[in-house]
Amino acid sequence: MADRDPAQLPQHLAIVMDGNGRWAMRRGKPRTYGHQSGSEALKRTIEAVMRRGIPILTVFAFSCENWNRPRAEVRKLLDLFLKALNKDVQELHEHGVRINFIGDRSVFNRTLREGMAQAEQLTCSNTRLQLNVAVNYSGRSDIVQAAQRIAAAAATGTLAAEDLSEEHLNQELTLAHLPPPDLFIRTGGEKRLSNFLLWQIAYTELYFSDVLWPDFGAEALEQALIDFSGRERRFGGLSQVRSA
């Protein structure tokens, strides 16, 4: 397919990878089998995102609410993260991917925490793709933590309450150093945000796909990009036709 105008390509893509469990159950397999296939879909998608020249990808791998799942499923998900850290990070590094984990990692065991820190350190100079993996992440918690830091600054007199701006709050959030997502994709047919990047997606284009995550790949991504390239982004303003 011919390359489109890069201005019509999202610079930051955010994905909620949903549908692993249903994908597995439709095949008479345990939900964990779906997560295994989901991690392969993630690898395919990372490759496709790099081929399309999208510089930032943020994926929701594990939400704070996912702890409520059966223990065996949670254990499998954490095993998959560890396996990915041991096996896939080197390859991602060789392809120029910079990896960053967002979310509260303090709850994970030491092996996982160290694996995450090593992956971040190893890849910190890469520039081809910035990959943010949200683990034990909650958009609301991110905002609350930002508010706590701001309240502390106000309490010590470093910041006057009336000087607090959107820019200021934004600076305290996890992805402050990156532009907000241009496109949000959720697979699996559900149409909700599920506490992902709540502040950052204020003007993001939303795309919901019925494809279950393990079936997602270059072709499904292309469909989303075609849809995005036809969107008119007004950021609260008027369209060119209506303002003429």
Question: Which residues in this chain contact ligand FPP in the complex, by CB under 6 A?
Answer: 17-22, 31, 35, 38-39, 42, 61, 66, 77, 80-81, 84, 133, 188, 213
**Whole-number Å distance between alpha carbons of 126 and 99:** 9
Min dist CB 121 to ligand FPP, Å, is: 18
**Whole-number Å distance between alpha carbons of 192 and 210:** 13
Residue 134, token pair as written in the block: 């949200």
Min dist CB 78 to ligand FPP, Å, is: 10
Backbone angles phi, psi at 124, to 5 degrees: -65, -15
66 catalytic? Reply is: yes
For ligand FPP, the closer CB: 38 or 103 = 38
180 contacts 204 by C-beta, under 8 angstroms: yes
For ligand FPP, the closer CB: 81 or 228 = 81
Helices (H), the chain: 20-25, 31-51, 71-87, 89-94, 110-123, 139-155, 166-171, 218-229, 240-243
227 contacts 36 by C-beta, under 8 angstroms: no
- Which residues are the active-site residues? 18, 66
